[in-house]
Amino acid sequence: MSKVSVAVLVSGGGTNLQALIDAEKNGIINNGHISVVISSKPGVYALERAEKAGIPHFVAEKKKFGDYTEAFGNEIKKYLDEYGAQVIVLAGFLSKLSESLCEEYKDRILNVHPALIPSFCGKGFYGLHVHEAALEYGVKVSGATVHLVDSEYDHGRIIMQKAVEVLDGDTPETLQQRIMVQAEHIILPQAVEMLCKEIAGE
């Protein structure tokens, strides 16, 4: 069985990338194979994780393109084409994708967001900002969402969600860590396998 080629886009430490690498190794992702990792920044730890796992990895440096989202998208597309990517996973990728990429990969781009959409999502809600907002609001439950990506921030159809309890005394950092471990690292690999299985069966 030929596996579905998955490209993982990163911008930072790559904890979700690591969860995907481990899930492929452990057979949780069975219908897909991570064929390439692309980072929007040089020197991030996610690239080291890809290196250690023997996965081809490249930098498409966002700041070289300023606001030219299409040019940035074309730079990413070079690597997607080279490795025949059929699915794109945004794993802590902090840049907006170009409209043409969103169109070309319609219903084949997954993103994980560290809150229960539609809460605490949209422009500006990324990283610790999400958890700061959740704590400020006083919610008792937060979590993570895997959704399909379109050209609006955190907008596409929801694929999976997992709730995580907010504890008394939580800081944005402790909440972030718990949501990663108890939700993101579980549902992102599951959603990737679900989409790859669907494509493999087409």
Which residue type is seen at 67? D
Alpha-carbon distances, residue 17 vs 72, 120, 169, 184, 185 (angstroms): 21, 23, 29, 11, 9
The enclosing H or E element of 197 equals: helix 185-200
Strand order in the sheet with 109-113: 57-59, 32-39, 4-10, 87-90, 109-113, 141-148, 158-165
CA angle 170, 172, 177 (to 5 degrees): 85
The yes-or-no answer on residue 113 being catalytic is: yes
DSSP string of 64-108? GSTT-HHHHHHHHHHHHHHTT-SEEEESS--SPPPHHHHHHTTT-
Active-site option among 57, 113, 131, 147: 113
Q: Is 133 helix (H, G, I), strand (E, B) or coil?
A: helix
Closest CA to 183 of 108, 130, 122: 130
Q: Which residues are catalytic?
A: 113
